[in-house]
Amino acid sequence: MAPLPALITRENFKSFLESFDTVLTDCDGVLWHEDRLIGQAHVTLNTLQALGKKVFFVTNNSTKSRDDYVEKCGRLGFKATKEDILSSAYVLAQYLKQQGFQKKVYVMGMGGIVKELQAEGIQSTGGEPEVYDGGSLSTLMDKMKLDPDVGAVACGFDPYLSYLKVMRAASYLERPGCLFLATNTDERFPVASKGLVYPGTGCVVRCVETVAERPATVMGKPSTKMFSVIQEKNSLDPKRTLMIGDRCNTDILFGKNCGLQTLVVLSGVTTQADLEKWAASDDPEQHALLADYCLTQLDDLLAFLDPKQEQC
């Protein structure tokens, strides 16, 4: 057994608010679902910023560049500069920069990865559809040409996942020293409608890992790399930093791996039933998924915050 996350109430709100200086907030499932704002998440963060809290946006979503996220945040009413945004695509490009990587990257993913690599002067190939045309495997082998300059494979969310792309990635990974990087391994996107399930980046990464017979190095949450990149330009006190997320095996685990306070919201993938299952378990790995605090959704805080910052 383990204690459930504490609900934030009028009684404990003041001590909660005074316990942190910085917020790291997840995006999909906390702030928005694709392009749809979740409640008044923007008013909540803007109010916290007006109270002097520093806010960083930390997303495993590699489909967009930081510039794209600055535009999205502005459009949805959030206050964010490029320096406030950490995406898994940005962390991947920083990782290769720190490795002094000079070759080319084969990208299974979208524009976010390509743009962040370009920003660091790193060349890439891939990033577009490659569809199997029904030919024999030997025909495929004859037709497939590999780029001699590729020295790394980067797997991100790729809606054009295909047999040929997995074949290409795994073939590059046969090369001695070829790096194998993944932006994240989230199993699903936190968008559920009409009983449909939206596969996340995890299916792309696990597919290539299976064929390559080797694990990828994961850049996004729960890895602490995202926090290390923030700390290169800031000196945050982990104990006075709050991580807010909707997925416990990435966001909350990331917060715990970095020594942060953690708050889970139930507006994304995690449900109250999940929390009760993990709390009732005897498995320490399930206990590790339990956050310090819980809210149904982020803007529940507005019940205690006055958007005009007149504290109750």
For the residues of 162-229, what is the DSSP string, one character each?
-HHHHHHHHHHTTSTT-EEEES---SB-S--BTTB--B-THHHHHHHHHHHTSPPEE-STTSTHHHHH
Q: Which of 273, 274, 250, 279 is nearest to 262 (CA)?
A: 250
Beta strands in 62-197 (DSSP E): 85-87, 104-108, 124-126, 150-155, 179-182
Residue closer to ligand PEQ by CB (options 26, 158) is 26
Site string for ligand PEQ, 61-100 (x = CB under 6 A): x---------------------------------------
Q: Which of 108, 76, 2, 61 is nearest to 251 (CA)?
A: 61
Residue closer to Mg ion by CB (options 26, 158) is 26
Q: Which of 243, 306, 302, 212 is nearest to 5 (CA)?
A: 243
Number of residues that bind ligand PEQ (CB under 6 A): 14
Kindly state whether residue 109 participates in binding Mg ion, applying the rule CB under 5 A: no
Instruction: Say whether 28 counts as a known binding-site residue.
Output: yes
Cα distance between residue 65 and residue 79, in whole Å: 17
| Sole window of 36-44, 112-120, 185-193, 272-280 interacting with ligand PEQ (rule: CB under 6 A) | 185-193
Binding to ligand PEQ, residues 137-176 (CB under 6 A): none
Site string for ligand PEQ, 187-226 (x = CB under 6 A): --xx---------xx-------------------------
Going by the annotation, the residues of the binding site for substrate are 221
Q: Which residues bind ligand PEQ (CB under 6 A)?
A: 26-29, 59-61, 184, 186, 189-190, 200-201, 247
Q: Which residues bind Mg ion (CB under 5 A)?
A: 26, 28-29, 246-247, 268
